[in-house]
Amino acid sequence: MTSITPAAPIGNRAAASEARKQRIRDAALALFSQFGLRGASLDAIADQAGVSKTNLLYYFPSKEKLYVAVLQQILDTWLEPVRAIDAEQSPETAIGDYIRIKVELSRDHAQASRLFCLEMIQGAPLLREDLQSNLRLLVEEKSRVIEGWIARGSLRPVDPHHLIYLLWGTTQHYADFAVQIEAISGRTLADPAFFEATVENITRIVLGGLLPRTNADS
Amino acid sequence: MTSITPAAPIGNRAAASEARKQRIRDAALALFSQFGLRGASLDAIADQAGVSKTNLLYYFPSKEKLYVAVLQQILDTWLEPVRAIDAEQSPETAIGDYIRIKVELSRDHAQASRLFCLEMIQGAPLLREDLQSNLRLLVEEKSRVIEGWIARGSLRPVDPHHLIYLLWGTTQHYADFAVQIEAISGRTLADPAFFEATVENITRIVLGGLLPRTNADS
DNA sequence: TCCTTTTCAGACCAATTGGTCCGGTGGCTT
DNA sequence: AAGCCACCGGACCAATTGGTCTGAAAAGGA
């Protein structure tokens, strides 16, 4: 409790320990994201992490604690792009940037995206509080930014909530349904051309719309 | 094997039997969609269905068989709206109708949507074949319809695949992430006003786009 | 050096898992 | 009436589960 972690060198001990914990978290993410909290066994996680089950339980005192630890590490990463939305930017660049970053996340942290999705499907028993307070406030804040754009005339009228849901749903889809997408189009976000096409098409639909433009509407 | 099911009256016996099977399937859908294949126990399913575990295993010889039976019942329902897309329709009504039907599905069959999502996240080990053959062909067929619209000038250029993914992802989102949406906006698709707002906003964004219309582009 | 604290693993445990066995019960045909 | 057979449930089983206990290396400070 009163231990002062030595700042500079980080004793070999602590470093190795932290590395082990991270290996365990990574293994847990891989298995939890595939089989869920109840579906993944500690044996399998310990095995994949290359440590004994006892050792795993030494670092994380229970399965649920481990699960929460993994989730927590994800959450911040996930909301970061939302926080970055700024009223000073033009809606074009703000939304365009957001789409690109979210698709990058779907490419680079697909497992995290899937675990988050799993947790939501199950009713988010461990995150509900967080959602109702922090996330809600964040969304309200960004909604006002969007409403500002609309009032200023630089965005056509739309309910900010539904816009945010559409952006979330669309971008997450490329991580969570990667198997389906690969089965259908034979491509993956790992393919740079497909990645760019994804960003480009989503952006074009959301910003420009699908219907041809007549010069007779607002 | 050689039994000929009596067509008209359906003996009390067979009717009760079928009713039981359906109750089991419903219970299985509820629990599988929440905890996944490995996370849901046969005990819990039998309990929720109001039958003994032995009786459940009498109708469905193994857990996996039951799981597949439930999935199969979902698949057709799910692809129905895609099949309905028709080249003769205008893209406006075709896409508008599709969005409305999918949001209705998200409202009325949220559990089915979630189970489908779970299966995808896990890599769809039981559906992979189906995806690579049937679904792929269906998507290719509808892609050509969309390309026809574009060629005809009634739709702005877009990659049909990404358009389909966007529609899937957005509409599914309201079922799979219902908890999140409720935590943030306090509304549910069960609320008719919220349902209409959802359909309306998605349609407006996809068809009309967000950027204000200048009279200086295609 | 000695002693405390951290770190780690093998043996073990009670509970739960998917699934089987056996014995019944009630409807339907002959 | 009689017997066949679809139907159903309680007892049971081997395997796996999350988690504990005991005890020993391996540091690190004195």
* Lowest-confidence pick of A37-41, B2-6, B59-63, B107-111: B2-6
Q: Give SS3 for A14.
A: helix
In terms of C-beta density within 10 A (0-12 exposed, 13-18 middle, 19 or more buried), how is residue A62 classed?
exposed
**Is the pLDDT higher at B9 or at B42?**
B42
| A-B Cβ pairs (cutoff 8 Å, strict) | 224
Residue A28 is encoded by which pair of tokens? 């847990």
- pLDDT at residue A63, as a whole number: 96
pLDDT classification of A2: cutoffs 50, 70, 90: very low
| DSSP letter (8 states) at residue B149 | H
Please name the residues in contact with A62: beta carbons below 8 A apart, sequence gap of 6 or more.
none
Contact between B117 and A117 using a beta-carbon 8 Å cutoff: yes
pLDDT classification of A23: cutoffs 50, 70, 90: very high
D11 closest protein residue (CA to C1'):
B54
User: How far A205 CA lies from chain B's nearest CA (Å)?
Assistant: 6
pLDDT of residue A108 exceeding 80: yes
Q: Which residue of B has its CA nearest to A167?
A: B170
Contact between B211 and A92 using a beta-carbon 8 Å cutoff: yes
- Any atom of strand D under 7 A from CB of A41? yes
If one counts every other C-beta atom within 10 angstroms of the C-beta of residue B62, the result is 10
CA angle A134-A136-A139, nearest 5°? Answer: 110
pLDDT of residue B199 exceeding 80: yes
Q: Which residue of B has its CA nearest to A113?
A: B121
| DSSP letter (8 states) at residue B9 | S
pLDDT of residue B6 exceeding 60: no
Reported pTM? 0.89
pLDDT classification of B109: cutoffs 50, 70, 90: very high
Are A45 and A28 in contact, with CB atoms under 8 Å apart? yes
CA A42 to C1' D28, whole Å: 32
| Rounded Cα distance, A96 and A204, in Å | 9
pLDDT of residue B77 exceeding 90: no
